[in-house]
Chains A and B, each alone.
Chain A
Amino acid sequence: MERKVVLFISIFVYSFFNVSAQDNFQLSSGILRAQGAFAVGRLTESKATQIYIKGDLSYYLDSKVSVRADGFYFVDSQDKTNKPFDFSHSLFTGLSYHLGNGGAFDPYVGLQPGINFARLGSLVTTLPISPNVTSWSPVLSGHVGFNYYAPKIFHLFVHMQYIQGRFVNQLNTQSLSEFRISFGLGWNIDVLK
């Protein structure tokens, strides 16, 4: 069984990369890419693992710079006994700088200011129930990742993001600093063609 799985992965990876490499994909201004995926985050202070549904949208100004917006919708914490927030949604907007040379493999780095909207979980206060206290918190994030463009309209992506911020509240202050990762299949079109 393991052998079959490894073989399948090998063939899939080879086919994908090989087909893509043969296609003369060229990054240029006008490329609009979007994706939706699950993201997993780990808070650096409380060590809680949080799960999100995320979506992002990028527009390439040229092959080197794109404008990017990311939205994260909090689904749940993995461990119910370590749940600092009842919810913690966030939005980011900023720029990505693309390190590649305009080909199908597109590594990038970037920075995005953002805003977080969260409600403190009952486990981090002395109250027996959720305190129902929400707060907006400014955050700053840095990201790194890559896209691998296949022919026509889709691409693989891996996106990692580090978020810096603090939930400040009279019941408790909690660090919002978190490392998030997402990967999957995204879509792209050239709106200037």
Chain B
Amino acid sequence: MKKLLLLTLAIIITVSHDSLSQDVHESNLMITRCATKPATAKTFSQVPGMFELGVRSTASLFGDAGNHGLGSGGQFRIRFHQQMGSEWFADYIVTDIEGVGKREDAHIGWSVMFYPFKSANKRFSPYLLAGHCFDYTKVTSYGVPFPANINSERWSSAIQMGIGTHYNLNRWSDVSLSVQYMTHLGNDIHTEIVEENGLRYLTLNDHSHGASLEGHVLAMLSFNVKIGRLWKGK
């Protein structure tokens, strides 16, 4: 029995080795084919009119309550110029407030992206971004005792700015990582965890009188595919 198992293992290893050798040969052929195509200045498609579509994962960090949230969403990009583009996004973020409450944020907005380096033919393409968005926030306090939930919600507007970089996987796709600070320009839903008689609960205080500059840091990881050019330009 042991011998048979050893034999099986030996066959698999041998066959895998043969296959890999063949793959290496195929790869060499492929490299040769690719080498016949000279790289152009626009290999990574930083060209005006380029339309991209992508998905994103967002981490909300260092917000008002100090809790971290995770979000998902999507975006499209339109490139205006080799050194300037735009990103139009929507995402939904959920934050657990230490088991006593929940915060939900939904953003829909846009950013202008400025590329300080002419990096059309490079893997890394760093950028600065600044923009505006509309947002919806709902904070739910689970209350004490259950199920006396209370919640507070608001619509507001926000501005954001930050830095990021694309990493071009090939001429049609990139992974982008960015960090930005978003400041809400509307009412603040201030939260505080209160402890009374051994019970912890979340209090909500809606600052509806006057604007408040509440904000949070957002870190975004996105995956984008270049679909095509909307217009042709230099």
Whether B152 sits at the interface, judged by CB under 8 Å, is: no
Closest CB-CB distance, B150 to chain A, in whole Å?
Answer: 11
Name the A residues within 8 Å of B96 (CB-CB): 166, 168, 173
- Closest chain-B Cβ to A32's Cβ sits at a distance in Å of 14
Q: Are A21 and B27 in contact, CB atoms less than 8 angstroms apart?
A: no
- Per-residue CB proximity of A18-46 to B under 8 Å, as 1/0? 10110010100000000000000000000
Q: Residue of B at shortest CB range from A7?
A: B4
**Size class of A's contact patch?**
35 or more
Secondary structure dominating the interface of A = mixed
Give bound CA distance, A100 to B15, whole Å: 17
Nearest-CB residue, chain B, relative to A67: B225
- The answer on a CB contact under 8 Å between A17 and B19 is yes
**How big is chain B's contact interface, by range?**
35 or more
- Report the minimum CB–CB distance from A11 to chain B (whole Å): 9
| Contact call B11/A13, Cβ cutoff below 8 A | yes
B41 at the interface (CB under 8 A from A): no
Contacts of B130 in A (CB 8 A): none
Does residue B138 face the partner (Cβ distance < 8 Å to A)?
A: no
Instruction: Kindly report which residue of chain B lies nearest to residue A95, judged by CB atoms.
Output: B223
Tell me, in angstroms, the Cα distance from A112 to B7 when the chains sit together: 39
Once the chains bind, are A111 and B223 in contact (CB under 8 Å)?
A: yes
Give complex CA distance A112, B175 in Å: 11
Q: A52-109: which have CB < 8 Å to B?
A: 61-65, 67, 93-95, 97, 100-105
Q: B191: CB under 8 A from chain A?
A: no
* Cβ contact within 8 Å between B22 and A21: yes
A115 interfacial by beta-carbon distance below 8 Å: yes
Total A-B Cβ pairs within 8 A: 133
Chain B residues whose C-beta falls within 8 Å of the C-beta of A103 in the assembled complex = 19, 22-23, 26-27
Q: Which of B15, B71, B149, B172 sits near A170, CB closer than 8 Å? A: B149
A113:B56 contact, CB within 8 angstroms? yes
B12 touches A13 (CB 8 A): yes
The answer to the question of B146 belonging to the interface, with a C-beta cut-off of 8 Å to chain A, is yes
User: B11, A20: Cβ atoms under 8 Å?
Assistant: no
Complex contacts, A112 vs chain B, CB 8 Å = 55, 223
Q: Within B2-46, which residues are at the interface with A (CB < 8 Å)?
A: 4-5, 7-8, 11-12, 15-16, 18-20, 22-24, 26-27, 30
A-B contact pairs, 27 of them (CB 8 A): A2-B1, A6-B1, A7-B4, A13-B12, A26-B30, A61-B173, A94-B55, A94-B223, A100-B23, A101-B26, A102-B26, A102-B27, A103-B23, A103-B27, A104-B22, A111-B223, A113-B55, A138-B58, A138-B70, A138-B93, A140-B221, A165-B70, A170-B140, A170-B142, A170-B149, A171-B146, A173-B99
**What are the 6 tightest A-B residue pairs by CB atom distance, in nearest-first order?**
A101-B27, A103-B23, A138-B72, A113-B57, A17-B15, A170-B142
| Contacts A62-B172, A102-B27 known; 5 new A-B pairs at CB < 8 A | A6-B1, A10-B7, A111-B175, A173-B96, A173-B99
**Which A residues are within 8 Å of any B CB, using their own CB?**
2-3, 6-7, 9-10, 13-14, 17-18, 20-21, 24, 26, 61-65, 67, 93-95, 97, 100-105, 111-115, 136-140, 164-166, 168-171, 173
